[in-house]
Structure formats: C-alpha cells, structure tokens
Amino acid sequence: MYLERQIGDLHLGPTDFKPPLPSFQYLALPQLFLSLIIAIRPSAAWRLLVFLLYIYVNMKAIAFTSGDKDRDFLLGVSFGWLIANAMHLLFLSDPMNDFRHVNDVVPPRDLPLAHRAYWAFCLQNAMRGIGWNYMLPHTPPPPTASRWSFVRSQCTRTLRYIFILDGAQCYMHLNPLFSRSLSGSGALPITAQGYVFSCANIIAYMGRIYCSFQLQYSLLSVLCVAIGFYEAKDFPPVFGRWRDAYTLRRFWGQLWHQMLRRFIASIGKSISRGLGFQPGTHLSSYTQLYVGFIVSGLLHTTGEAMVGMRYVGFSFLFFLAQAVAITAEDFVIGLARLTKIKIPAFLTSVIGYAWVFFWFSVSVPWFLNWQIAAGLGFSEAVPIMPVRHAVRMVNDTMNIDFTLLFDPL
C-alpha cells in the first residue's frame, strides 16, 4: 500500500556525513557559561572576547548533525538565536540593572554568585518576559484557571494538536509531491500542483510546524504545572488568536510566536538610535521593521547551514519580503484613511483576511521549496498516528488509492 510504503520510508537520507552533535557541549554548556559571564559583569573588552568565543562555538556546532534534517534546521536556528540573545544581554542591555523578576526580593546584583548565575540563566530563557518587567507587548493574557483545570485543558489541547499534526503528516505522506522530495534532485516546487493544491500543501506543511510548537509547549506546561514547579499563569498561549490576523503586521506582531522578538527589537532599536532616528517616528519604526526581518532571516540562515551549506540563504528573501509587504500594506491602509471612504467593518476584515491568505500563498513557497528539496518535513513529531492508522484501515478494507485525489505530477 502506498501509505504503508511512505510511513516505512521516513528515513531522511544522509545528512552530509556530519558527525553527531555533542548535545551538552553545544546546547547546555554555552548557556551556562553565558549565565556566569552575565553574573560576573566583566568589562566591555572581556565581554567582547567572550562574545567572539560564543560566536565561534555556536558556528562550529552547525558542522554537526542530530541525524534528523528537521531537527537540524531547528537546532541551527537556535544557534543563531543564542548568538543574537548573547548580543542583547552582553552589549545592548545591563541585565543586572535593567531586568527584574516579580519574585526578586533584592536586586540581583546583590545576590551571591551562584544565585546570580541561576537568575541570569532564567533570564536567558524568558524570551517573552513572562513574570519579568520586560514582558513583550501583545503577549496573550495568562490563564486564570486553577492548577488541575489548567492541566486538564492543556491535555485536551495536546490531543487536539496530535490529531491535527497527524492529519497534516498523513496528507504529506499521501501527496506524491512530498514523496518525490526524498530523492532531492527530483523535488518539485510546492506550487507544482496548481494554486488550490499549493494552498493545501502550504497549510499542511505550516500546520505541522504550528502544531509542533503548540504540542511541545502544551506538554511542557502540563508537566511544569502538574508537579507544581510553575503556576498556570506562567504559561500564556504561545500563539495569539487567528481572528486578529487580518493584516500582515498583526499576523507577525500578534498571532505568530514571539520567541525571537526580545533581541530582535533590541537590535532594531539600537540600530535606529545609531542612525539618529527619533523613537516614535516613521524612520525609526520602519528601520526596526526591516532590521527585525533581516535578523530573523539571518537566524534561519544558520538553520539552513546546519541542514547543508548549499541551502544557505534560500529563505532569506521570504523574511525580507515580509517587511516590504507590510510597508505596502501600511501605505494602502494610510491611503484608504486619507480618502475617508467608509467601508463596513465586516467587509474590511474580510478583505484583510483575504489579503493575508493571498500573500502567504505567494510568499511561503519561497520559504518551503528549499526544505522540500532538502528532504525536510518527514520527521515524526509524535509516535502516535491515529489519523494515518484510520486511513490505512480504510485503504486495506476498501482498497482505495488516496493518491488519486491529488493532481498528477
């Protein structure tokens, strides 16, 4: 059966014969080391030396592999993330003076060294500032449910994400377009089956990424709250509400996850100030917008490099194009306001959603085509396959070839 063959052939092929990644050496040790440096608060010259060493270690890490191309991409992005986060904490802020946690009783600089290092480690990983004095704007409101009500609701959400994730992977394993990506040279663009299937392909692939984020976050929140290490209020949703995404600016600023925004905003503001632009002006705002997407593109470039150096830079256009599209969107919205044409709110929202959907149907292939060619998208996020087992049962019982539903290639 075709589906069984696809499930059985999920080996992602060679990963450029790279050696396996030493996890502790490259994932844990650099963060522990940076925490100690933040706690010590050395001079600028020493911080620069540490930062150069930090760049070297994280760039060296992309020469290894986890044995899984999807995981390599995420790890590569995380190594870029570590570098940008270190820049923010070592040069663009003074952590011991600028930041506070709600539970801080005394200034962190007055704590013993070991406590300062632990405080700095927590600071490094509090990307949205939940419980800190720098909590990012547009962070969804924290849950107000009791401990076990929250655990039950998150378990329900976890099951929902498992089904949706498995449904997306089932679609991808049945669709011949994705199966041909395993050969590399035989890969076709995600748009090869026409616009309708192109949209379905994008939804399946990006839905897989979205649900993987949600699933991991839900499982982490269940574990931490159930054992009493954190409270429900410490886990606001990782993504915003879909109904708020009726402009590209709102999609990126309110719906999509904000795990990179802390240091991206810090870098953007620093460059804007360095260019002499006053905060609150259009020049400052758009400088931050473009810098933000450029930095995001560079972070994803490190992910591409860990998958294979031949893929470096392939998705950068996608991120830069988001800033250009938001600029055009702002212009059109501003022009509409100047004309003072009254459009019903409902119609405005419909137009906005249609615009966002259309834009991503055009631009997301720039981000995904190289991933298909590289053989990404076939890792198993969960060991449970309820949807695929159901499809297999139907296939075995009724002898239906579901691949006939797709346009031939």
Return the residue matching tokens 């906005």: 352
Is residue 330 over pLDDT 60?
yes
Picking from 112-116, 202-206, 336-340, which range would have the lowest pLDDT averaged per residue? 336-340
Query: Is residue 257 in some structural domain?
Result: no
Structural domain includes residue 120: yes
Does residue 238 fall inside a structural domain? no
Please state, in angstroms and rounded to a whole number, the distance separating the CA atoms of residues 95 and 93.
Answer: 6
pLDDT at 350: 94
Q: Is the pLDDT of residue 357 over 50?
A: yes
| Angstrom distance (rounded) from CA 230 to CA 294 | 35
Number of domains in the chain: 1
Q: Classify residue 153: in a domain, yes or no.
A: no
Residue 227 lies in a domain: no
Q: Cα torsion for 107, 113, 115, 121, to the nearest 10°? A: 100
Is a pLDDT exceeding 50 seen at residue 267?
yes
d(CA 119, CA 100): 10
Contact 376, 73 (CB under 8 A): yes
Average pLDDT on 311-331 reads 96
- How confident is the model at residue 4, as a pLDDT? 36
What is the total residue count of the chain?
Answer: 409
Confidence tier at 10 by pLDDT (50, 70, 90): very low
pLDDT tens-place string over residues 167-179: 999 898 888 888 7
- pTM as predicted: 0.90
Asked if residue 131 belongs to a domain, the reply is no
Structure tokens at 178: 């994705």
The answer to whether position 64 is within a domain reads yes
Q: Is the pLDDT of residue 12 over 80?
A: no
Say what the pLDDT of residue 383 is: 73
Tell me if 348 is assigned to some domain: no
How far is 130 from 234, CA to CA, in rounded Å? 6
Residue span of the structural domain in which 98 resides? 23-125
Confidence at residue 379, expressed as pLDDT on a 0 to 100 scale: 80
